[in-house]
Structure 1
Amino acid sequence: MITRIYALLCCLLLSAAASAQSSKTPIAPDARQKTSDTVVTDAVERVENITKMLNRVNNTLRRGFDTTEISAELPESERLVKNLHAGILANPRLLNIRSLYALQVILLEMEQTHNRWQQSLSTYSRAVTDMSAEINNILHDTVLERLPKDPGLQSLYVNQLSQLNRKWLQADTANRNSLLRIGLLQNRVAMNYIAITDMLDEVDFKLKNAQQHIWGREEKNLWDARPGDYENNFPQVLEGSIQATHRVFRFYLRYNWDVHLLNLALFVAYFGWLVASIHRIKKYHHDKKGIFGNTRYAARQPLLTSLIFVFTVGPFLYTNPPIIFMVILWTVLAVCVGLLQTREMPVWMRWQWGIMLSVYLGYALLNLLLQNSFLERWAQFFLQVAMLLVCWFFLRKQEQESAYNWPKYTRLVVYLAMGMFIAAMLTNLFGRVMLAKFFGISAVFGLISAQALVVLVQLLFETFYLHLEASKSNSRFAAFLDFNRIRESLRSTLYLLAAVAWFVILLRNLNIYSIIRDEVLLFLEAERKLGNTTFSFSSIFIFVAVIWISFQISKVMMFIFGHQDDSGSVKKNRWNSAVLLIRLGVLGAGILLAFTASGIPMDKLTIIIGALSVGIGFGLQNIVNNLVSGVILAFEKPVEIGDVVDIGTQSGTVKEIGIRASKIATVEGSVVIVPNGDLLSQHITNWTLTTQLKRSELIVGVAYGSDLKQAQALLEAAVKAQEAIQQYPAPLVVIHLLNDSSVDFRVLFWTDINVGLTVKSDLLRTIYDSLNSHGIEIPFPQQDVHIRGEAPPPADAASLPPSQP
């Protein structure tokens, strides 16, 4: 091959020879040196840069692109596609819902794999094409055509071009070979990918058709069925199904290592978290037995706790898992739940759990069969009868042992399972075999998964409790949190999520999850018009969901930071001042995120703000006033959560400073709702703004004639005997008033505002006993009444005659 560099090399050699023999007129030395230096500098730099580029290209092409996996696995994938098309799609006898689901799983995994291969090959192809462009650009480089004037430099330059020509030929050949190899692989992958997508479309069509006719009769009625009505007997069907199931399981296990590793990481993280909490409690807490006594499972069985967490959450991370894969995961989950609760279960419940697990394994085995058989139908019937008896026995025992702490809705779940068992029995009797399998396995695993999810919620609370107790020794924030309040606030949410997860598991076992999901998504994502506005229910749902979540987060934060002790009194802490601002920030961020996530244009937000401004002018003044007042309260902090205040005629403790109004808990037990605007506009007496101390006063009277110095000393001693009375500021006892019937002393002292009444009561009792024991009378209000009679007559008045009328 004669390249342009080679031709350029020949031209330069001829030009050098001609220039050496031609002109006899010498060039001025300075001019010749200047021209030669310029040419040499440009040429040497350009040759050096081109050489580096060619070395890099040659090294990259020599190492090659990593297509080993594609080259090794593509032939097997091509054979598998041919076998699947010839073995299943071309055989209508094997096309039932179970075989179609298994085939769909394989094809979906192959589609994802080929997608990944195509992306890798496209990346390699672009890289090779870019290197080809860099190689071809050398041919159009005009700097290489300039020849140095100096004969010695000409020889060196020609030698460099010769080496450059060899590197260029090597890079060009390797580049062409790489393009050819990658192009052939891309073509084979693309052809196989097209075949996979065609088969996947065919499977989806047949699957939807089979689901629509799921209620149709497949076999004869059970009482009319005979072994000769079936092409293959049970052992033959079992053998073929095991081989197909093993192939599906191995294929799915092989191409989902990322999710496997994710679940393994979740298990290690959860187990490490739990074990570390238990270790810290054992090492640093003196009351470790009391802490562990508050848990039922997590502290005693951390390994089983972690396994239940992973095998409950992990299955939801897989996309389109085959039934054999889910059966293995759920079987391990059921065994772990049974082992965890063995010690607390009554004996009859252990037997029931074992029977239920055995029935589930039997149903799982029957559910894996790709064809129906005579023996399988009767096996289903006996399993259905057995589970109905188990459920009936459970309901009887539950009524007898009402003291046992049964989870809520237990009877509802059992009744639902019994209904599905009855439906499975009826559909099996009347020839709907596949539908009977779906009802049966959904019912039995519905019972197992319901118990597993209830146990999981309990385990999550116990794990979090152990973490809080372990962190209280080195974390002030953990010591501040109240586990009981957090549990009460999150209990309903976790059980709601558990109910949703149970419903999803039920739909998956009924094999209608994908149908319902697709229909719901189609309904939500369909574009609708209201006037000139286009919207979808999905955007509305996302908008409402994000705002609801932000509101729940704000509510939980208020619930946690509005801290109360065991007596119900609100505690004042350093977090309370920022709670309102954080709540407002969460709600504001939630609104903005809701607009962004739902796809609603931000210019709509300006319209809403404009509408609100009009509303403010007409009727929202009070609401906006209270909202702004809440922000001012958060910044100026005249009142904080936990403060004892007097507002008008009301007195109590600030329980919550909300966005619109605040709550004040009175000593009588009522809660007064005060708008934030009133908190700023009214005169407020805050007893705990700067200190928790409050001055109390007692008036003690002693009788006239008592030793006043002794009485004052006794009062001072009684005050000093009370430990709850503050010594700084020092208490004070002074003579206050000369009353009508007593000499009054005024006793002044400082106490914590939360214990003022108790200290006052104790001090009065001490004063009374002290004065009484020393003979000092405490007078009570009294009044002396002197009764005067008529004056006696004079001595000579008796001898006088009585007066005449």
Structure 2
Amino acid sequence: MKITQQYMGRLMWILVWLSSFFIGANVSAQNQDSLKNAAHDSARKAFTERIQEMGRAEAASSIAKYNEGRIHLEQRSVMEELKKTNEKIKIYLQHSIDTASISDDIQSVENYLAIVKEGIVVHRGTAQTQRNLSVSSAIIDQLIGIMGKRKATVDRYASELMGFRDRIDSLSSDSVLYIYPTDTAGLIRYYKKMVVVVKEIAPIDTALNVALSNVQDLQVKTDLVVYELRSSYENIEAEVKKLAANSLNREYPNIWQTPTYSRPFGDIIRFSIAKELLALQFYASDNLPQIFLLLVLIVMSTLFIRRLKLRLKQTGTPKEEIKTKLITRYPLLSAILIVVSIFQFIFITPPFIFSFLIWPVSAVCLTIIFYKYITRFWMIFWIVMVLLFTIACATNMLLQASRVERWIMVILALAGIVYALCVFFSGRSMELREKRILYFIAIFIVTELLALVFNIYGRYNLSKTFLISGYIGIVVAILFLWTVQLINEGLSIATSVYRHPDRQLFYINFNRIGNKSPAFLYVLLIIGWFVVVGRNFYEFKSLAWFTHDFLTKPRSLGNYDFTINGIAIFITILFCSLFLSQIVSFFSVDHSATRTGEQKKGKIGTGSLVLLLRIFIISAGLFLAFAAAGIPLDRITIILGALGVGIGLGLQGLVNNLVSGLVIAFERPVNIGDIIEVHGKLGTMKSIGFRSSIISLSDGACLVIPNGDLLSQHLTNWTMGKNAKRVTLQIGVAYGTDLDQVKNILTGVLKAEEKIMAPPDPIVIAKDFNDSSIDFQVIFWVHHIAQASEVTSDIITRIDKAFKDSGVVIPFPQQDLYIHKIDR
């Protein structure tokens, strides 16, 4: 307490002194003279200045400390960013491009280019050949594509490295790093930090510089190769146009004259094989998805034809008649012939060697199918034409003219003309199963005659074009004609083995086909034949380029940009997705009318799985069609908006059925093959579609019922209850009959029937006293609902026989009639 009072006293003294110094100055001033006042004023001023000086010094010291702290933070931030960038560079360099591989690719492309130049720049010869130029152009086009990808990779890598280099240089040149601490201790600490950062950055910085140097050298090499490729491509295209413009001019001396330039035939074969294999390698690698699709289509077609053959056997068709069906003799060979003939057009501008590999395969398949089907005369004609065709195709792969080849071309043309004339005027046309072949034989004779004349008089390129076009025309025409025949035969078989509504799945009215092929198949055949033959002519290629430009030219409709090619792709993809969904449905819809096996719970049934798969295929096809056609997906919202308006105006029923289809797919109240009862009608579930389902009734008719009605009606699913059915019979016996005897008889009859389930055991009960009989009720179960009528009939027959043997009477209704006479 005393201590507190002591401190309070001192505090009061200080306050008094301060008040006397500041506040009490006026009171003191009144008692002091003017000199004393002046001294006090001077002291106060000096004190004030000293206090202000101390404040300014402290403020300057605080600002310096603040700036030094801020600079330290900025320096630390820059150093951390340097470290992070250094780590990014380190990781990026570890996963960088394989420059050695790209260098090897560049070397390989240079080697390929050297092969391409063979016969064009090196050993040019007297004149260029159209085949050599076309093959070389195709190879260079592929090489440009390969090097274009490599160049893009190298440029992107170089750009990333330059970005890292600029980032490192930008951080390293930051001025804040060069503001050093004023004190010695701080300067030493900062120096040590800088040394650590430099040691961490230096190796990566060196590696970055090396990588930049290497990639810049690689860029130079890549640019040079790309330039050389493009220059060579332009030169070859110029040569092609020049050759096409002068196609009627003489290129070589007449066949009997000595050529001015001669090259060993072996060298020509060697570089021709190298170029052709190179073209095949590049084209096959770029078209692997199409090749895979072709193989898948062959497998699917084989399965379909095998199924047709199996259905023929199931329908009781005699074996002799099945053997007469050409398409089902060899399902795999028929599938190869049909698929290759039709779907070869998915390969855009294939090299000749690629076509040369698939055409003989089809020819061999047709030869085996022809065996013992056509007459011996026309079989020999076909085999001879295939052999000559093979030799002509082999000759066509020679890329430089030679005297030996020209004589081979003369022999081929003469042999083809002479043999075709003999066949044409042989009078054996009545043996032909396809009379249209005669038209193509006539065309073949004309083209080979032109090839012979042009070759004799030195028009080598024109002669070779007509020679190979003639042989391709005759062989491909026969392949196409018999492809149409096989398709027609397959459709005719489908007409006989598939009943309504199965054949609706392909949108074809099979009843209209009969034994005559549809006209549109022949139209497609003629178009395809012109395409295959026309590929050998430069004019066809010019027309193809014009068509391509027309289809891909951008067009505008309001704010929407489109191309005809995009619209065609959109429609094609949608059609293919719909067709594929129908094929999936086709291969799953044709089950047997009944299904006695127990269905596993918790597992999606066939019908639900098929419906979901079809929905997925169509949905994926729709979005893929929009993407492939270049239509922005945000435009779909407009379609959905319009669809919403349509739903509100009158599509409720359609949408209800579509949604009900989805509900059936997920809830699975009914499945394909289930035995159901709707509206009192018993039938088997045939198919479940998007909008409606099909029920095969027991009387043979098919009931088409909307999915909405299928869910809203009282549906009885016998299959869901394991197809078992309870049968109840009402039996009456005469009054006075031994009821125990009746029970024993009925029980014995029921136990003797093997088709009655046990357990549950049959039940026999006395039910009621009727007017003229005592009624018994017999209850038993059968394994399958389809057996109910048959078993009931057998049981009634056996009960009647057992009652007769035992003397049990089944009474008929009796009534006593009393007639009263009325007295009048």
Higher mean C-alpha displacement, 344-353 vs 518-527? 344-353
**Conserved? CA contact 2:110–2:225, under 8 Å:** no
Q: Does 1:547 align with 2:547?
A: no
Q: Which residue of 1 aligns with 2:552?
A: 525
**Conserved? CA contact 1:267–1:307, under 8 Å:** no
Distance, in Å, in 1 between the alignment partners of 2:532 and 2:287 is: 20
Q: Per-residue displacement from partner, 1:29-64 (whole Å, max 9, x unpaired)?
A: xx9xx99xx89x97998899699889969x99xx99
**Conserved? CA contact 2:755–2:791, under 8 Å:** yes
Q: Does 1:439 align with 2:469?
A: yes
Higher mean C-alpha displacement, 756-765 vs 513-522? 513-522
**Conserved? CA contact 2:674–2:718, under 8 Å:** yes
Distance, in Å, in 2 between the alignment partners of 1:53 and 1:660 is: 60
Q: What is the CA-CA distance between 1:101 and the residue it aligns to?
A: 0.9
- Secondary structure of 1:228's counterpart equals coil
Distance, in Å, in 2 between the alignment partners of 1:555 and 1:314 is: 19
The structure-2 alpha-carbon separation of the partners of 1:267 and 1:606, relative to structure 1 and needing over 3 Å to count, comes to closer
- Secondary structure of 2:256's counterpart equals helix
The structure-2 alpha-carbon separation of the partners of 1:56 and 1:507, relative to structure 1 and needing over 3 Å to count, comes to same
Q: What is the CA-CA distance between 1:633 and the residue it aligns to?
A: 4.9
- Secondary structure of 1:227's counterpart equals coil
Q: Which residue of 2 aligns with 1:27?
A: none
Q: Which residue of 2 aligns with 1:716?
A: 747
The structure-2 alpha-carbon separation of the partners of 1:324 and 1:127, relative to structure 1 and needing over 3 Å to count, comes to same
Q: Per-residue displacement from partner, 1:134-161 (whole Å, max 9, x unpaired)?
A: 6645465754674896699969969996
Q: What is the CA-CA distance between 1:662 and the residue it aligns to?
A: 2.7
The structure-2 alpha-carbon separation of the partners of 1:601 and 1:74, relative to structure 1 and needing over 3 Å to count, comes to closer
Q: In the alignment, residue 535 of structure 2 is paired with which amino acid?
A: N
Q: Per-residue displacement from partner, 1:284-325 (whole Å, max 9, x unpaired)?
A: xxxxxxxxxx9xxxxxx9x99999999999999988664346
The structure-2 alpha-carbon separation of the partners of 1:81 and 1:129, relative to structure 1 and needing over 3 Å to count, comes to farther
**Conserved? CA contact 1:646–1:684, under 8 Å:** yes
Distance, in Å, in 1 between the alignment partners of 2:771 and 2:87 is: 115
Tell me which of 387, 397, 420 is aligned to 1:358. Answer: 387
Distance, in Å, in 1 between the alignment partners of 2:679 and 2:695 is: 13
The structure-2 alpha-carbon separation of the partners of 1:260 and 1:614, relative to structure 1 and needing over 3 Å to count, comes to closer
Q: Does 1:380 align with 2:406?
A: no
Q: Does 1:227 align with 2:255?
A: yes
Q: Which residue of 1 aligns with 2:450?
A: 427
**Conserved? CA contact 1:564–1:570, under 8 Å:** no
1:357-506 correspondence to structure 2 within 5 Å = 357-369=386-398, 370-371=400-401, 375-385=407-417, 388=420, 411=434, 418=441, 421-428=444-451, 431=454, 432-443=462-473, 446=476
So what's the TM-score if we normalise by structure 1? 0.63
**Conserved? CA contact 2:103–2:218, under 8 Å:** no
**Conserved? CA contact 1:657–1:663, under 8 Å:** yes
Higher mean C-alpha displacement, 431-440 vs 626-635? 626-635
Q: What is the CA-CA distance between 1:508 and the residue it aligns to?
A: 5.0
Q: Per-residue displacement from partner, 1:247-298 (whole Å, max 9, x unpaired)?
A: 413644776795699999999999xxxxxxxxxxxxxxxxxxxxxxx9xxxx
Distance, in Å, in 1 between the alignment partners of 2:653 and 2:797 is: 51
Q: In the alignment, residue 391 of structure 2 is paired with which amino acid?
A: G
Distance, in Å, in 1 between the alignment partners of 2:719 and 2:208 is: 82
The structure-2 alpha-carbon separation of the partners of 1:385 and 1:778, relative to structure 1 and needing over 3 Å to count, comes to farther
Distance, in Å, in 2 between the alignment partners of 1:263 and 1:612 is: 36
1:280-359 correspondence to structure 2 within 5 Å = 322-324=351-353, 327=356, 329-330=357-358, 333=361, 355-359=384-388
Q: Per-residue displacement from partner, 1:729-770 (whole Å, max 9, x unpaired)?
A: 432334567778876644332222122122223323433443
Tell me which of 787, 794, 798 is aligned to 1:755. Answer: 787
Choose 1 or 2 for highest CA Rg. Answer: 2
The structure-2 alpha-carbon separation of the partners of 1:507 and 1:175, relative to structure 1 and needing over 3 Å to count, comes to same
The structure-2 alpha-carbon separation of the partners of 1:736 and 1:79, relative to structure 1 and needing over 3 Å to count, comes to closer
**Conserved? CA contact 2:413–2:449, under 8 Å:** no
**Conserved? CA contact 1:312–1:452, under 8 Å:** no
**Conserved? CA contact 1:661–1:674, under 8 Å:** yes
Distance, in Å, in 2 between the alignment partners of 1:411 and 1:346 is: 10
Distance, in Å, in 2 between the alignment partners of 1:614 and 1:170 is: 64
Distance, in Å, in 2 between the alignment partners of 1:396 and 1:640 is: 58
RMSD of Structure 2 on Structure 1 (CA): 6.5
Tell me which of 97, 103, 108 is aligned to 2:136. Answer: 103
Q: Per-residue displacement from partner, 1:407-445 (whole Å, max 9, x unpaired)?
A: xxx848956764653453343255352332332342465
The structure-2 alpha-carbon separation of the partners of 1:161 and 1:413, relative to structure 1 and needing over 3 Å to count, comes to farther
The structure-2 alpha-carbon separation of the partners of 1:540 and 1:744, relative to structure 1 and needing over 3 Å to count, comes to same
- Secondary structure of 1:94's counterpart equals coil
The structure-2 alpha-carbon separation of the partners of 1:189 and 1:739, relative to structure 1 and needing over 3 Å to count, comes to closer
1:135-150 correspondence to structure 2 within 5 Å = 136=169, 138=172, 143=177, 146=180
Q: In the alignment, residue 439 of structure 1 is paired with which amino acid?
A: S
Q: Which residue of 2 aligns with 1:511?
A: 535
Q: What is the CA-CA distance between 1:383 and the residue it aligns to?
A: 4.2
Tell me which of 272, 276, 280 is aligned to 1:245. Answer: 272
Distance, in Å, in 1 between the alignment partners of 2:382 and 2:84 is: 76
Q: Does 1:662 align with 2:697?
A: no
Q: Per-residue displacement from partner, 1:481-537 (whole Å, max 9, x unpaired)?
A: x9xx99998999xx99x9999987984564268666545543433344556654333
Distance, in Å, in 1 between the alignment partners of 2:768 and 2:415 is: 94
Q: In the alignment, residue 375 of structure 1 is paired with which amino acid?
A: W
Distance, in Å, in 2 between the alignment partners of 1:629 and 1:54 is: 55
Distance, in Å, in 1 between the alignment partners of 2:86 and 2:678 is: 84
1:525-604 correspondence to structure 2 within 5 Å = 525-529=552-556, 534-562=561-589, 564-565=591-592, 574-575=604-605, 576-577=607-608, 580=611, 583-584=614-615, 586-604=617-635
Distance, in Å, in 2 between the alignment partners of 1:667 and 1:395 is: 57
Q: Per-residue displacement from partner, 1:641-679 (whole Å, max 9, x unpaired)?
A: 444444446443333333323322221111122233444
Q: Does 1:612 align with 2:643?
A: yes
**Conserved? CA contact 2:726–2:780, under 8 Å:** yes
- Secondary structure of 2:389's counterpart equals helix
The structure-2 alpha-carbon separation of the partners of 1:186 and 1:773, relative to structure 1 and needing over 3 Å to count, comes to same
Q: In the alignment, residue 137 of structure 2 is paired with which amino acid?
A: Q
Q: Which runs of 5+ in 2 are unaligned?
A: 1-64, 298-321, 323-329, 455-461, 488-497, 509-516, 818-824
1:3-82 correspondence to structure 2 within 5 Å = 65-66=99-100, 68-69=103-104, 72=107
Q: What is the CA-CA distance between 1:245 and the residue it aligns to?
A: 0.6
Q: Which residue of 2 aligns with 1:283?
A: none
Q: What is the CA-CA distance between 1:699 and the residue it aligns to?
A: 4.3
Q: Which residue of 1 aligns with 2:227?
A: 194
Q: Does 1:115 align with 2:144?
A: no
**Conserved? CA contact 2:581–2:617, under 8 Å:** yes
Distance, in Å, in 2 between the alignment partners of 1:622 and 1:783 is: 57
Distance, in Å, in 1 between the alignment partners of 2:767 and 2:438 is: 79
Q: In the alignment, residue 578 of structure 2 is paired with which amino acid?
A: F
